[in-house]
Each structure stands twice: as structure tokens, then as C-alpha cells.
Amino acid sequence: MERFRRNKGPLLLPVLCLAAALLIYLVVNSLWGAASVARQLSLGQQYLTDMNYNAAILAFNNAIRTDPVSKEAHIGLAKAYAGTGEYQFAGQMLEDLNQGPVPDEEISDTLIDIYTDAGEWERVIRLIRELIDSTDRDEYYDLLQQVLAAYFDQPHSYGVGTDQRLVLKNGQVLSAGSNSLGQLGVALAAAPEQPEAQPLADAGFNGTAARVWCAGRTSLALDEAGNLWAAGENRWGQMGLAYADGTTRTGWTCLTDTGDVAAAAGTTGHLLVLRTDGSLWQSGSETGGQLEPVSRFATVIQLESSGETVWLLSADGGLYTSNAGDPYTWTRVAEDVLRFGLGPDGGAVWLASDGGIGSNRYSVEQPEDWTALESGRMQPDFAVRQLAQSESGLLLTDAAGTLYLAAGGQCAPVSTASPVETLYRQGEGVVLELRTGEVQYWADGDTAPAPLA
């Protein structure tokens, strides 16, 4: 025992020396690594400033290899990829880091910048809405208002109702069809034998109109100041004037004078109004003829109707529908949706956040270059901006406004006079609003679009 005690010191000495050396190595390596990361981050930021994005990508990747959890490095890398135009890759990189119960403000702000540059406004709105829910800060409410105002500023020059249609040309509202309830906006005349064949004529709308829609036999026009006007049927109080009127009306009546209407839609006896702050309002028999807010949805970013079916998209990605049989009941059809388009017979197609295409009614044979996702959706080989379904196939546009038709296992570009600004379904076809201001119509059964007559 005494011998062991005498030898204990010499035995421990090598162990202590080894531990000290290891500790020194770890400290030096840590300091060197931290310095290396700081150096690479500094280089990356300088390359970003110089718009040398490939060099920035190399620098930030070097920093991540040394420190895989560096938030600054991942944010810088995403900005660099966005600088090269790889918006989807850059966005997905940061989305993967932003999966916590509370969004990281710095990451979310960077994502907002990336998606704004990419024109992916639906993702921008969702991110801002999440920041509002987590911070309740005024700056995000203000930012949401600004983004929504820009997002809603899209043309809508054609509306089809039960037996009437409206066309907007250079701010003038034209109408055609039946005028049985004053839905053409002008004084009643003898009913024509074939109202659907009547040519377009001045609808008697005073002032300059910005958009038009129809809801049943109620015609709707938005003036350039953002106020909503209506002509035609009000027997269920759907105009929101606090009374129902079964008599035939002549002329246009102002429904809102607040200058904040973004869109309108509806079915027979039921009107829906989307305001520029994303709030949804409705009027009809169950609201006592009053225009009242729909409290179920905090922020709505898309509202469309066709025939007797209405669809809407909330900022959280929920896709909902209702119909004339029960217009005050909403059914959630899909989640994680960025944008939707309508199709024949009241169905819908939509773009999900994973880039895949979904539908509740239509099927498209997968084109060869598209990818089958685990979700069961199909992902096109280009970034889709807008979509709608026709009897000819699935119509899509990309960020450049190129129009594509997916049908029969093929997806091919379709020639248009200029890039497509927006597309939506009305009546028995799809409306194409071009960036030059021209409006075309792809009627069901046709093989190509034609100028709207």
C-alpha cells in the first residue's frame, strides 16, 4: 500500500499532461475556428455588397462547415443564392431553419425580402401574418397593409352572372344579356328573344371603373377610388343596403364609400366583399341586408366565384368553399395553399407551398418533366405563379408571364400576344389579362385563346 502511494504521483503526471495538452488544443482550435468563421462571414458580407454572389456562396459555405449552426452564415448563404436568382432554393434553406413554434424575426425578415424579389406575394403575406401573431407589432401591421394593397392591384375585366356578362374596356363598363332585373345597369327594354346573343353595350356606369364582377343577377363594378357599385337584383338584401327590394332596379347603386374594396364575389342572394386590409364582409338574408364582417377569417388573400360556388384562400394557407345552397357555411378543402384557380362545374385547382399542384375534382396526366411528390401532388419543372382549369387542360403561368397548357401527359408553352398578367375562370372559359392591357378568352373546347369579344 505504501509503495502504491509513493508511485501514485508519477503515474498521474502523464495523464495530467495529456489532459492539459488536450485542453490547450481544444481552446486553441475553438479560438481558431471562431476566428475562421468570423473571417469567412466578413468575406461573405463583403462579397454580397460587391454583388459577387458566387464568391459569397463559397465564403458562407466555408463558415457553415466550421460552424454548422451559424444563423448569420445561413442567412448570408440564402441571400447569396437569391442574388443568383435561385429564390426557391434560398427560401427553402431558411424555411427549414424557421420551423420553431415562434418564428425567428431575422430569418423571417430575410425570407420576406427574398420572396418579395421573387414576386411570391402569397408567401410574403403568410410570413408577415405569422410575425403579427407572434409579436403584435405595429410595423408588421403596416407592412401587411402595404403588401396587400400591391397584391390586390390586379385587373379583373370580365364578369359572368346568371344571364348577364360585364366587360371593362378603358374604364368603361359594357354589358350584355338579360336585363330582367336591371342587371345590365341601364333602363329596362323589351326582352330580346336571345339575350345571350346580344352585343355588348354601354352599361350606364358613371365615372371610371377599375374592375367588374357578377354574383347571380347582381352586377358589380369597382370605381377607381375603390368604392363598390351594384346593379340588378337585391331581393335578399345582398347589396348590403339594410333592406331587400323585390322590384326591378334601374341604374347603379353605391354600396361602399370607404375606398377600400379589393374584390367582390358571390352567388344568387349572397354578396362577399374583400377589403384591402384582408378582411372579408358579406350581406344577404342572414345578415338582415347589412354588410357585416366574416369573423372566421383574419386575413383573406384571394376570393373568386363562378356560377353558384365561391372559393377563398386565407393567409394561413387554408382553402375554403361554399355554395348557393348554404352560402354561410364554409368547408375547408385543403391546407398549405399559396394560390388557387377555378375550373368547370365549381371545382378548383391549387398551388401548394411545396410547389405541387392539387385539385378536388380534376386529374391531369403527369407530364414527363414533372415530379411526383410524396404528398401525391405533381410539381411542374418551373415555378408556377397562377393557374386555372379548362376543359382543354390545366392552364398555368410562370413568373415571366408565359402561358402553359398541361394536357395528355404533355406541358407546352402557349403563344400569347404579350406576357400574362393574371388569369381566372369566368363562365365557360378562362380569362387571360395580358400585360399590354389586352384581354383574351380561352373558351372550353377551344384549342387556343382569342380576343375577348
Tens digit of each residue's pLDDT (9 = 90 or more) over 284-309: 988 989 999 999 999 999 999 988 99
With respect to residue 278, please indicate whether it lies within any of the assigned structural domains: yes
The mean per-residue pLDDT over the stretch 184-210 comes to 81
- Model confidence at 27, pLDDT cuts 50, 70, 90, reads very low
Same domain, 273 and 173: yes
CB atoms within 10 A of CB 46: 13
- State the residue for C-alpha cell 404528398: 375
Of 390, 426, 389, 451, the residue nearest 159 (C-alpha): 426
CB atoms within 10 A of CB 61: 15
Identify the pLDDT of residue 99. 87
Mean confidence (pLDDT) of the chain = 90
Give the DSSP H or E segment for 411: strand 410-414
Identify the pLDDT of residue 29. 45
pLDDT above 70 coverage of the chain, percent: 90
Identify the pLDDT of residue 326. 87
Cα distance between residue 289 and residue 310, in whole Å = 19
Of 225, 228, 340, 355, the residue nearest 281 (C-alpha): 228
Identify the pLDDT of residue 71. 93
> Phi then psi for 175, rounded to 5 degrees?
-140, 160
Same domain, 299 and 237: yes
Same domain, 381 and 308: no
pLDDT exceeds 70 at position 23:
no
With respect to residue 162, please indicate whether it lies within any of the assigned structural domains: yes
Identify the pLDDT of residue 4. 40
CB atoms within 10 A of CB 95: 16
- Model confidence at 357, pLDDT cuts 50, 70, 90, reads very high
- State the residue for C-alpha cell 504521483: 9
With respect to residue 422, please indicate whether it lies within any of the assigned structural domains: yes
With respect to residue 237, please indicate whether it lies within any of the assigned structural domains: yes
With respect to residue 387, please indicate whether it lies within any of the assigned structural domains: yes
pLDDT exceeds 80 at position 35:
no
Q: Between the CA of residue 32 and those of 21, 27, 35, 53, 331, what are the distances in Å?
A: 16, 8, 5, 26, 58
Identify the pLDDT of residue 19. 53
380 secondary structure, DSSP code: -
End position of a domain, from candidates 252, 282, 313: 313
- Model confidence at 421, pLDDT cuts 50, 70, 90, reads very high
Identify the pLDDT of residue 28. 39
Same domain, 254 and 390: no
Same domain, 270 and 380: no
With respect to residue 94, please indicate whether it lies within any of the assigned structural domains: no
| The pairing of beta strand 270-275 with beta strand 280-284 | antiparallel
Identify the pLDDT of residue 103. 94
With respect to residue 246, please indicate whether it lies within any of the assigned structural domains: yes
pLDDT exceeds 70 at position 195:
no
Domain that holds residue 283: 157-186+200-313
Same domain, 295 and 375: no
pLDDT in tens, 105-161: 999 999 999 999 999 999 999 999 999 999 999 999 999 999 999 999 999 999 999
Same domain, 370 and 284: no
pLDDT in tens, 226-260: 999 999 999 999 999 988 888 777 899 999 999 99
188 vs 148, higher pLDDT: 148
Instruction: Give DSSP secondary structure letters for 249-305.
Output: --S-EE---SS-EEEEEEETTEEEEEETTS-EEEEEGGGTTB-EE-TT-S-EEEEEE
Cα distance between residue 77 and residue 48, in whole Å = 9
Cα distance between residue 377 and residue 229, in whole Å = 40
Is 248:187 a contact under the CB 8 Å cutoff?
A: no
Rounded to two decimals, what is the model's pTM?
A: 0.87
Identify the pLDDT of residue 22. 52
The mean per-residue pLDDT over the stretch 330-354 comes to 96
Identify the pLDDT of residue 247. 79
CATH number for the domain that contains residue 239: 2.130.10.30
Domains of the chain: total: 2
How long a stretch of residues is the chain?
A: 453
With respect to residue 165, please indicate whether it lies within any of the assigned structural domains: yes
